[in-house]
Amino acid sequence: MQYISKEGALTIDARFGAQVKEESGAEIDRCYQCLTCSLGCPSAFAMDYLPHQIVRMVQLGLREQVLTSSAIWVCADCQACATRCPNEVDLVKIMDVLREISLRNEMVKERAVADFHRIFLGNIRQWGRQHELSLILRLKLKTRDLFSDLRPGVKMLMKGKLKLLPARFKAIKSVRDIFQRAER
Ligand code: SF4
Ligand code: SF4
């Protein structure tokens, strides 16, 4: 269905709200737009839509606008919104599900953030814990952004804050089992 707004034609997906509700288990219908989530969100300054607006857009079925937004990737999963919401709307789960749907449908706007998540998890799977230097190098190669933050990176290396080699983790098999179970 199409709706003509001041900004132009908006496509409404009437099933979107129900899909997000089902996949997240969050009570999206309870939101009455009190703005508490947005007022306490530490990432709000960098978002294109504020958290309460994302919930409203999901309710309205604005699938494309939500799934191509920066806000769902800028969210730091800090839980401040879910903790403070007077109606116990779990925005953290909603944001998680929106990122998953956005990835599945290749609608990711913030590609570098999605790449960061993938590389972060790939390192945990490979070594059982994080190895920051390879995380940085892999992300740099993936995003082809080789020279930004070079100076602080070298400083950290010189001060021994970045280990050259990943540490051994004895229980690596258990970590890999967790990944395999999650992928089933
Ligand atoms: S705090 Fe809860 S009820 Fe208030 S706008 Fe945010 S999600 Fe909606
Ligand atoms: S979980 Fe995300 S949306 Fe909620 S307060 Fe934290 S950064 Fe903001």
CATH, residue 29? 1.10.1060.10
Cα dihedral value 115, 38, 55, 5, nearest 10:
-100
Q: Which residues contact 52 (CB under 8 A, 6 or more apart)?
A: 31, 33, 34, 35, 37, 38
For residue 124, give the H/E element and its range. helix 111-127
State the pLDDT at residue 11: 83
State the pLDDT at residue 148: 87
> Can you give the residue range of the structural domain that contains 53?
2-104
Residues 6 and 91 occupy one common structural domain = yes
Residues 16 and 77 occupy one common structural domain = yes
Q: Choose one of 86, 104, 122: the last residue of a domain.
A: 104
State the pLDDT at residue 4: 60
Q: Which atom of ligand 1 is the closest one to the Cα of 30?
A: 3
Residues 52 and 124 occupy one common structural domain = no
Q: What is the mean pLDDT of each run of 10 residues along the chain (184 residues)?
A: 64 93 96 97 96 96 95 96 96 97 93 92 93 93 88 89 88 92 86
State the pLDDT at residue 133: 92
State the pLDDT at residue 78: 96
Q: Choose one of 65, 88, 104: the last residue of a domain.
A: 104
Task: Please tell me the distance from the alpha carbon of residue 36 to that of residue 82, in angstroms, as a whole number.
Answer: 10
Place of tokens 């098999």: 173
Tell me if 91 CB under 6 Å of ligand 1. Answer: yes
Structural domain count, the chain: 2
Residues 9 and 85 occupy one common structural domain = yes
Task: Please tell me the distance from the alpha carbon of residue 71 to that of residue 109, in angstroms, as a whole number.
Answer: 10
Residues 24 and 64 occupy one common structural domain = yes
Q: Choose one of 47, 69, 104: the last residue of a domain.
A: 104
Task: Please tell me the distance from the alpha carbon of residue 169 to that of residue 177, in angstroms, as a whole number.
Answer: 14
Residues 81 and 137 occupy one common structural domain = no
Which residue's alpha carbon is at the smallest distance from atom 2 of ligand 1?
85
**Which tokens go with 48?**
């294109």
State the pLDDT at residue 6: 61
State the pLDDT at residue 2: 56
Which residue's alpha carbon is at the smallest distance from atom 4 of ligand 2?
81
